[in-house]
């Protein structure tokens, strides 16, 4: 028990003392997750709307593929992206390996199926009368898209939170594509893995507390927004 209590005390001391190594991993995590989520949402929400709203040849096959990718192992994503962006890969000239941008590619691939699948389900579960009402009122294109997404906003918000939790908690992609380079590509999860393995339990505790705090703030914000919109 002394081992655990001392670890927690030292961990909180590192947090409140502004340890540069700890906060460097935090800022890298925030930058990486923000970049990957921005790209995932910009692509995933319209694609999920199309998947849930329209009927087209091969729709069931596409939906099956998206649902299958929900459980794809992170190390597999890291492996394939590594093959593409390494010096010998087709994208090697862009020098994306061991950079935040390279890591964001892998995390986007992890988040995209979640956003697409949950957005498609949200659109499919909207009141069937909504579509006919919008079409009767002359809604087309962007107006139809935005009106439908607004009705399904709570489920889409949940999709975004779920995807964010996926990208902030993963280790495999960040480790393989970022290399866990100190002050450069080290994230909270890769730092926890490294420091705990080295026996620096206090640093792992500090980073774990911060990761839990980020999740709590995010979920509280979502609950707050849902309460405001329902009021």
Give the CATH number of the domain where residue 225 resides: 1.10.3720.10
On the 0-12 / 13-18 / 19+ scale of CB atoms within 10 A, 30 is: middle
> Token pair of 71, please?
């459980």
- pTM of the model as a whole: 0.85
**Is the pLDDT reported for residue 153 higher than 80?**
yes
In the numeric block, the tokens 């590594």 are attached to 82
pLDDT band per the 50, 70, 90 thresholds, residue 106: very high
Q: In angstroms, how far is CA 225 from the centroid of its own chain?
A: 19
Neighbours of 105 (CB within 10 A): 20
Using DSSP's 3-state secondary structure scheme, residue 211 falls into helix
**How many domains are there within the chain?**
1
Q: What are 204-214's pLDDT values in tens digits?
A: 787 888 888 88
Domain range for 224:
2-230
The span from the CA of 52 to the CA of 58, in Å, is 13
The answer to whether 148 and 124 have CB atoms below 8 angstroms apart is no
């Amino acid at each position: 028990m002394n081992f655990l209590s001392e670890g927690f005390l030292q961990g909180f001391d590192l947090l409140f003392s502004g340890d540069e190594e700890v906060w460097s991993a935090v800022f890298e995590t925030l930058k990486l997750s923000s970049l990957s989520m921005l790209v995932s949402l910009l692509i995933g929400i319209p694609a999920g709307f199309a998947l849930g709203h329209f009927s087209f040849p091969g729709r069931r096959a596409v939906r099956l593929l998206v649902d299958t990718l929900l459980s794809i192992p992170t190390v597999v994503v890291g492996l394939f992206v590594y093959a593409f962006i390494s010096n010998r890969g087709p994208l090697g000239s862009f020098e994306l390996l061991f950079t935040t941008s390279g890591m964001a590619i892998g995390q986007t691939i992890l988040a995209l199926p979640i956003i697409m699948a949950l957005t498609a389900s949200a659109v499919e579960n909207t009141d069937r009368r909504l579509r006919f009402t919008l079409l009767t009122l002359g809604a087309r294109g962007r107006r139809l898209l935005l009106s439908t997404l607004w009705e399904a906003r709570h489920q889409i918000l949940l999709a975004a939170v779920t995807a964010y939790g996926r990208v902030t908690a993963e280790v495999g992609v960040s480790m393989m594509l970022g290399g866990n380079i100190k002050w450069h590509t080290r994230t909270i999860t890769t730092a926890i893995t490294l420091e705990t393995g080295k026996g620096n339990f206090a640093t792992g505790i500090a980073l774990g507390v911060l990761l839990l705090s980020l999740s709590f703030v995010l979920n509280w914000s979502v609950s707050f927004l849902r309460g405001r919109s329902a009021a």
